[in-house]
Amino acid sequence: MRSPLLLSLALGCGWLFSPEALVITGNAAGQLGWLTIPLLALLALLFTVCRQTINSSRRSFADSSELSILQQSIGKIPAASLTLASCFPLLVLAATALLVTSGYTFNEVFLYWFPNFGFAFMLLALLTCAQFLPIKYLHRLQFCFVSLAATGICILGIYGSVTPAKPLAEILQQPQQLSATTLSSALLLLLFAGSNLFQEKESRFSPVPLIAVLVFMFWIFASLAHVDAERLASSTIPYMTASRKILGDTGRQIMGLVVISGSCAAVTGLMLLCREKITDLASQQLAPQFLATRGQRWLLPPLVAITTGSCMATGLAGDELLEILLKSALLLWLLYYCCLSLSATFLLKNKLQTLPLPALLAPLLLLAGWLIIISSSPHTTEILIFISSSLVASTCLAAFWFFSNPRKKDTP
């Protein structure tokens, strides 16, 4: 794919159009009403500021990967640990959750007789095989998944917005208690997971947050115009409830396609993110060298497929624990992004001899959201245990490789 903008969109929007993101948006719309739209715009602005800070920092230094920014501020092993912990658990848990959801959707919307788990495993096998395609074709495939999902959401969103089932005053009615709305607002931060995949350091513009606002603006309005806020807030599949109300059975089928293509986009995007991170780690001597080249293509996707397949086969999808683990993995990614953005801010400060205030405020606000999500969750202990054990495990792995690798002495 030649256009960096389209590539950036295709890779960064994977998670954004996944059914998981649609649940977060739908529930938030039910809690916050139309205020979800300006709030989403504000969060998108925070991510844009963070991205610009990271890109400015990358432009300022010769060796400019995200990993090297982190390394310069927190050290090699903590940087490697945070990088590993932020993407691998997320990939495996998100793949388990999303593929199972796709299986159910395929079974309930398209073919009743086809077993949902059979479809989930088939999709996992196909997405793993896709990873062996030349990268140019894989990027095109990812673009197709993302475009299909975005088109479906836009069709339903625009149609639902121009044919509201309620008067405008009712749509704009404001609900709810403060505690619930604060949590919903913070949860919207999780929509941007994986948006750091493929960001040209030369580019000053990151399209992912803007696209999130544009697409979800219509979708949120359409959902509120057709479904009661209380129902949206409490539903586990608000996207399906809204699409059925908007366009009946056709709406369900369009949403079915969105769910399946969105899941494929999220899994492929996260897989590419992990591959990119592994390449970075290997090139910094923090992972085996063969992983910097073709080795990772042959090793990583089958490994992830086996882990995800085992999670599905052992019934993790049918366990409440999966939701807690997935949320923890998303929070770990958010923590990584905050640390990366803060590191970039302090590197810039050293270079410019002045602290850029918006660059400092944006990651601090993201961190505040991170804390709100953790503290208001009924599973705070489990989340903290998961985050700390992931960090410890990845630190051990990174430290083992770093200290057992003889080439570490060559690196500065």
Partner 1 sequence: MKRILLLLSFFLFVGTTPLIAGNVPTMSKEELKAQLDSKQTVILDVRSGRDWTSSEFKIKGAIRAPGNKIAEWSKTYAKDQTLVLYCA
Q: Where does this chain bind partner 1 (CB under 8 A)?
A: 19, 97, 100-101, 104-105, 107-109, 114-118, 121-122, 236-237, 240, 252, 316-323
Q: Is residue 84 classed as helix, strand or coil in its secondary structure?
A: helix
Of 80 and 149, the one with the shorter C-beta distance to partner 1 is 149
Per-residue DSSP letters for 298-342?
HHHHHHHHHHHHHHHHTTGGGSTHHHHHHHHHHHHHHHHHHHHHH
Number of Cβ atoms within 10 Å of the Cβ of 92: 24
Q: How far apart are CA 163 and CA 172, in angstroms?
A: 15
Q: How far apart are CA 154 and CA 151, in angstroms?
A: 5
Of 114 and 400, the one with the shorter C-beta distance to partner 1 is 114
The letter for the amino acid at 114 is F
Give how far Cα 115 sits from Cα of 99, 100, 199, 290, 311, Å.
13, 11, 39, 39, 17
In angstroms, what is the minimal distance from the CB of 256 to partner 1? 10
Q: How far apart are CA 281 and CA 77, in angstroms?
A: 10
In angstroms, what is the minimal distance from the CB of 96 to partner 1? 8
Q: How far apart are CA 182 and CA 173, in angstroms?
A: 18
In angstroms, what is the minimal distance from the CB of 101 to partner 1? 4
In angstroms, what is the minimal distance from the CB of 341 to partner 1? 32
Of 49 and 325, the one with the shorter C-beta distance to partner 1 is 325
Which residue, chain included where needed, has tokens 């369900």? 252
Of 107 and 142, the one with the shorter C-beta distance to partner 1 is 107
Of 93 and 287, the one with the shorter C-beta distance to partner 1 is 93
Contact 334, 190 (CB under 8 A): yes
In angstroms, what is the minimal distance from the CB of 173 to partner 1? 27
In angstroms, what is the minimal distance from the CB of 243 to partner 1? 10
Of 121 and 401, the one with the shorter C-beta distance to partner 1 is 121
Of 81 and 263, the one with the shorter C-beta distance to partner 1 is 263
Of 71 and 105, the one with the shorter C-beta distance to partner 1 is 105
In angstroms, what is the minimal distance from the CB of 136 to partner 1? 25
Contact 161, 153 (CB under 8 A): no
What stretches of 131-237 show up as alpha helix (H) in DSSP?
A: 135-162, 168-171, 178-187, 207-226, 229-234
b/e sequence 269-300, b meaning 16+ C-beta within 10 Å: bbbbbbbbbbbbbbbbbbbeeebbeeebbeeb
In angstroms, what is the minimal distance from the CB of 316 to partner 1? 8
